[in-house]
Structure 1
């Protein structure tokens, strides 16, 4: 392999361009090709100084890639990743890994059989905030986790939907588009979800999907979580507006996650650890300690990690199987909201 890991991107839209910027900021990686049939994609590739192929297959066959990033529409993820696996090319697949957990699991099994690494772009796990929170939990500073709460509320303007009408269609509501990020971090922090019970309300703007939903998550550990999402609610309580991760969003000093255990509670991303003086006791004084955390771009961190996986020096932090299990929970929330009943989440794969 050359001094730089040769990477390609399929789909040079908003997310694809962010990946291109992240690759440019990573010393061990170099963007050498793009696959995008659109005129905008060609123009963006020209601006980046890389060759633009009209199809992923042509890029995989001609560009001599060490790895490929799939930033194409979700419906293409599984087929495109299968094409990469067939050529022995490691793939970083944008979230969600696919539109169906069953189809995505077939992809994961094919990649495992071929020995080709798959990563899923749940980039929040690469944020130093998430790493610090995970460390606090793993060290047992909260005791036994018993309750989890996640809030994902914001107001998307009409222009957001008008510029991309597919966002008004079934399956493109905030459960699948936004909540998938929060579900993935809840799994990362608190373990597997074994059942969900959810409800959702139709879009007030008349779109063919929901604009608010909430779910109760039952964790394998016995902990219970509540999670809610709305793209029609003015609020400072979302990862986008509390983490400072992406500068296009205004930053607030609030938190959007709360995790409570038998010894303490943690709010994220402000990283305040709450404990009682002495033994846990609601009649005893309680105080917060603000924990130290680093700051770096999670997308750049994710590219660095992808390079290390391609080189065989690290195992995927968010493997294909991890992506499937997060998608299972999101599917369960959607089904439960439709049926208004509890839905069990089967455990797929090993580990």
Structure 2
């Protein structure tokens, strides 16, 4: 079993159920944001600090972005095509700071993912899910999912269906899909699941193939931004 804990979030599982049951029809695209400013101490310029060395797993892509990628695959399916653009750097370390990735999935869904760890913002999983009390909570959505029958924003789980044909003259309403979902710690739920696996009562929700697929996407993004840097 691999530690991609977000799959255990009751809210994220509810979003997947809503998508799978056709609440917004056929999914066309998505837009996800993970932008946060990490504290300066996190990047202590010391050779023993693995976080500032890409070869040791440093950088927001490998540390944080990989969980966003796993979420994309969990919700929408396998990623077929990846393009990426590297943004500006202010720390001037040998790791990326902000990246925009563009995905096309095997099922033709397209989407974007903005990742940055030097961008002050309330738009991130940690600050919106209210699961980890170390982070102040912000009442905003970091993910939008667009379908041919409406839109869902997350983590508020707000559904925006439309009246009429859905064209630009149509009226969109707003309602929360499920406001009674308990705010549970997915890390605890993941550990409970791991114990059941050890006891032979369950099979891994996240297996080695998932982990490898996520790493392949991270590697593709890194190759894209490396190629872009060489062409500048």
TM superposition score normalised by structure 2: 0.91
In the alignment, what sits opposite 1:157?
Answer: 39
1:51-71 alpha-carbon deviations (Å, 9 max, x no partner): xxxxxxxxxxxxxxxxxxxxx
Contact 2:77 2:106 in 1 (8 A): yes
Look up the SS of the partner of 2:97 in the other structure.
strand
In the alignment, what sits opposite 1:48?
Answer: none
In the alignment, what sits opposite 1:321?
Answer: 209
CA distance in 2, matches of 1:317, 1:265: 27
Contact 1:197 1:340 in 2 (8 A): no
Which consecutive unaligned segments of at least 5 residues does structure 2 have? none
Look up the SS of the partner of 2:160 in the other structure.
strand
* 1:250 paired to 2:133: no
* 1:135 paired to 2:17: yes
CA distance in 2, matches of 1:125, 1:312: 20
Contact 2:159 2:177 in 1 (8 A): yes
Alpha-carbon spacing, 1:279–1:321, altered in 2? closer, same or farther (3 Å)? same
Look up the SS of the partner of 1:210 in the other structure.
coil
Which consecutive unaligned segments of at least 5 residues does structure 1 have? 1-118, 342-351
Structural RMSD (CA): 1.6
CA distance in 2, matches of 1:225, 1:193: 10
CA distance in 2, matches of 1:216, 1:146: 14
Look up the SS of the partner of 2:2 in the other structure.
strand
Contact 2:87 2:100 in 1 (8 A): no
Structure 1 residue 201 displacement after superposition: 3.5
In the alignment, what sits opposite 2:51?
Answer: 167
Rg larger in 1 or in 2? 1
Runs of 4+ aligned residues of structure 1 deviating over 4 Å after TM superposition are none
CA distance in 2, matches of 1:132, 1:278: 27
Look up the SS of the partner of 1:183 in the other structure.
helix
Structure 1 residue 340 displacement after superposition: 3.2
Structure 1 residue 280 displacement after superposition: 2.9
In the alignment, what sits opposite 2:113?
Answer: 227
CA distance in 2, matches of 1:174, 1:189: 21
1:327-346 alpha-carbon deviations (Å, 9 max, x no partner): 111111111111139xxxxx
Contact 2:130 2:183 in 1 (8 A): no
In the alignment, what sits opposite 1:310?
Answer: 198
Contact 1:199 1:338 in 2 (8 A): no
Structure 1 residue 281 displacement after superposition: 3.0
In the alignment, what sits opposite 2:80?
Answer: 194
Structure 1 residue 202 displacement after superposition: 5.7
Which structure has more RCO (C-alpha within 8 Å, separation ≥ 6)?
2
> How many residues are treated as equivalent by the alignment?
223
Structure 1 residue 158 displacement after superposition: 1.0
Structure 1 residue 315 displacement after superposition: 2.0
Per mean C-alpha deviation after superposition, the further-off stretch among 161-170 and 216-225 is 161-170
Look up the SS of the partner of 1:121 in the other structure.
coil
* 1:178 paired to 2:60: no
